Amino acid sequence: MKKATNTLLGLILLSITQFSHADVAVLIHGYLGGTYSWNNTGITQQLNNKGWTYSGAYLSSPAGIQYFPAQNSETKPTNKTVLVNLPSQAPIVIQINILQEALKQINNQYNDEPLILIGHSLGGVVARAVLTRNTINNAKTLISIASPHLGTPRVFQGINATNNSFPVSIVRSFFGGNTYRTAQRSRRLYHDLLPARAGTFLYWLNNQAHPDIAYYSVIRRNRYGFPGDNVVPGYSQDMNNVTALKGKSSNTTTPSYHNLTPQDGSIILGILNKK
């Protein structure tokens, strides 16, 4: 009898191991960011310490998406964190295509375990755009942090500063240094982030059908207590202002500038603990 009981218990435990699933948190950086954006602020480590095991990074290259697993990467059913690195100065459709391919590889790597997409700034818009394509069916949550879902007037500065014809452009490039050359490389991306009006990319995106998943907007609050930061207005960071998502986003506000901070790790963990 005891032997039969032990055998039955072993079968139950084996079944749980085979069929239990964990979540995979996918961290997507913003403009001029990279995987270091999450590492240098300690967010990756915070998640790792609270049960979201860091499992590796997916980096884009001319050869395609390359996976770099973490040392001692966890293979058991446990919550995981992976990072995705995108060419953040490229036009948004290029970033969307790369993220879509990375998510497909993540699905293959982790057996279609549920995905939680977490995007900072531009990364939140790129993640949302991928979701509207309906090619990633196991996404369950999108968390955006200070993302310009309705665009930002700041892009006009970059567009105007690089709107030069030859030979003025050569002179500006020579004297403008790396900042000017970065703006030149980002010019098409700036157009993608123009405030959402008829004829713009964001107007089109915001009217597309979005999947029925959980949405969370982390909205910055400036030093005067008003929504928004030095880069993106507060209303643009709120996914409830996206035409297709009205009333569907849960919001959290945090006093901060635009960049990621260690406090964002605590906010992310608070949201993840609700899941």
Chain CA centroid to CA 43, Å: 13
Q: What is the pLDDT of residue 12?
A: 39
Is residue 268 scored above 60 in pLDDT? yes
Shared domain check, 166 and 207:
no
Name the band, by pLDDT with cuts 50, 70 and 90, for residue 177. Answer: confident
Examine the domain organization and report whether 226 and 161 are in the same domain: no
Residue 171: what pLDDT?
55
pLDDT at 70: 92
| Contact criterion met (CB below 8 Å) for 264 and 43 | yes
Residues 28 and 112 reside in one and the same domain: yes
- Mean local confidence (pLDDT), 137-145: 97
* pLDDT for 181: 87
The answer to the question of residue 13 being in a domain is no
d(CA 114, CA 79): 10
CATH of the domain at 45: 3.40.50.1820
Helix axes 122-132, 92-109, angle to 10 degrees: 70
Same domain, 74 and 146: yes
The two tokens of residue 73 are 């990467």
**3-state DSSP assignment of residue 207:** coil
Q: How many domains does the chain have?
A: 2
- Residue 158 located in a structural domain: yes
- What's the mean per-residue pLDDT of the chain? 89
Each residue's pLDDT tens digit, 66-80: 999 998 655 566 899
Q: What share of the chain is helix, strand, coil (3-state, %, to 5)?
A: 45, 20, 35
Flag whether 250 is in a domain: yes
Is residue 206 included in any domain, yes or no?
yes
- The whole-model pTM stands at 0.89
Which DSSP letter does residue 61 get?
E
Residues 95, 223 share a domain: yes
Res 53: pLDDT: 96
Residues 126 and 33 in one domain: yes
Whether residues 64 and 102 fall in one domain = yes
Residue 141 and residue 56 in one domain:
yes
Given 163, 192, 221, the domain boundary residue is: 192
Do 175 and 60 lie in one domain? The reply is no
> Tell me, what's the pLDDT at 161?
86
Name the more confident of 212 and 63: 212
Q: Do both 92 and 208 map to the same domain?
A: yes
pLDDT recorded at residue 275: 60
Domain that residue 88 falls in: 22-151+198-272
Same domain, 47 and 105: yes
Comparing 132 with 172, which gets the higher pLDDT?
A: 132
